[in-house]
Amino acid sequence: MNQDGQPWEMTLAFKQELPPGSAGEEVRSATWLLVEDGTVVLSAAGQSHLLRTGDAVLVGAQVRHRVATHEGASLILADLRAVAVAYPLANPLVVRDFVGRHGGVAELLRRCPLAGPCRPSALFASGYASLLGAAMTASWLEDTGRGISGPAPVLDPAVAQVLAALVADPGRAWTVEAMAESVHLSRSALGERFRRNLGQSPREALRDVRMRAARHLLTGSDRPVEQVAYAVGYGSGAAFSRAFSAVHGSAPQAWRDSAIASVARQADRGEARRGDDRGTRSDHEHVADAVLVQHRAS
């Protein structure tokens, strides 16, 4: 498990406007997306998914994906990712009418995105991750006919034990043989269990765990990239940079600079919006509150 004992992690959540005709870029990173307004097409794992206003989707880090829109769209994006979830969820996992089914969670993200003026702590971000992860999992259980009382698929105990060990010590010189020995299985048996439960090999799972740890260190500390490389199990900065670039499409330092700049931009936009709100809130607050209450009641 991760340090907070949580099955879900998240560091960023922010709003994004897609202009009409946006084709997007293919990325390979954990992504949760909510369509606030408009329509988008998600291309992932060889399939296309049409997402309308209110729909949400979760894409795991191992799946390359792209988001495009013809007429433009308003989105909320987050880097939500599973750490040790007890269900082998679909990837991508599409939840229709997320806003209608989990309005409170959606409203929280609208009013206080992680990359906005709320400036949350790590504990606050962990709470967001737990809420979003639970909402997506509950919707998946319902949509697949399992419900809360039916038999739900459980992550293989051996796979869960290995994942917990990898998350606890990503910097260890892990091999597939060492992972298998830790749960008294052969290399081939462990590989089969990983593919059956997670749709990926033990090596791919190790890479994802190390990339997750690297992202946390890059955004949450000022450690040099070389130190981050050793901390997450790479023997050199060059090897780490190659692996990181293959997953994220950019080198570690460039990714760090981009992430920090994105947070700063969102914070500035949030401050500007708050400044505008202060100028108009007194004239419209009662009307706005009444509309919000009426909307929730309906």
Between 123 and 24, the more confident residue is 24
For residue 132, being part of any structural domain is answered with yes
Q: What is the pLDDT of residue 275?
A: 57
Q: Measure CA 58 to chain center.
A: 7
Q: What is the mean pLDDT of residues 164-177?
A: 92
Between 277 and 125, the more confident residue is 125
The span from the CA of 247 to the CA of 218, in Å, is 15
Between 282 and 143, the more confident residue is 143
Average pLDDT, the chain: 79
Q: What is the pLDDT of residue 188?
A: 95
For residue 65, what are the domain limits?
A: 8-143
Q: What is the pLDDT of residue 99?
A: 92
Q: How confident is the model at residue 7 (pLDDT cuts 50, 70, 90)?
A: confident
The single-letter DSSP state of residue 19 is P
Give residues with Cβ within 8 angstroms of 3, minimum separation 6. Answer: none
Largest CA distance in the chain: 70
* Amino acid of residue 179: M
Distances (CA, A) of 193 to 62, 138, 196, 291: 17, 24, 5, 52
Q: What is the pLDDT of residue 97?
A: 93
Question: Crossing angle for the helix pair 252-297 and 237-248, nearest 10 degrees?
Answer: 40
For residue 214, being part of any structural domain is answered with no
Return the C-alpha torsion angle 274, 11, 198, 182, nearest 10.
Answer: -160
For residue 153, being part of any structural domain is answered with no
For residue 100, being part of any structural domain is answered with yes
Tally the domains of the chain: 1
Look at residue 202 and tell me whether its pLDDT is greater than 80.
Answer: yes
For residue 230, being part of any structural domain is answered with no
Q: Tens digits of per-residue pLDDT, 37-50?
A: 999 999 987 788 99
Q: Tens digits of per-residue pLDDT, 23-80?
A: 888 887 889 999 999 999 999 877 889 999 999 999 987 788 899 999 999 999 988 8
Q: What is the pLDDT of residue 298?
A: 32
Look at residue 220 and tell me whether its pLDDT is greater than 90.
Answer: no
Measured in residues, the chain has a length of 298
For residue 74, being part of any structural domain is answered with yes
Q: What is the mean pLDDT of residues 84-98?
A: 81
* CATH code, domain with 102: 2.60.120.280
Return the C-alpha torsion angle 122, 86, 93, 150, nearest 10.
Answer: -130
Q: How confident is the model at residue 176 (pLDDT cuts 50, 70, 90)?
A: very high
E-state strands within the chain: 8-9, 13-18, 31-38, 40-44, 47-51, 56-59, 65-68, 73-78, 81-82, 93-95
Read off the pTM.
Answer: 0.55
- Using an 8 Å Cβ cutoff, are 23 and 40 in contact? no
For residue 42, being part of any structural domain is answered with yes
Distances (CA, A) of 103 to 107, 109, 138, 174: 6, 10, 14, 42
The span from the CA of 118 to the CA of 111, in Å, is 9
For residue 47, being part of any structural domain is answered with yes
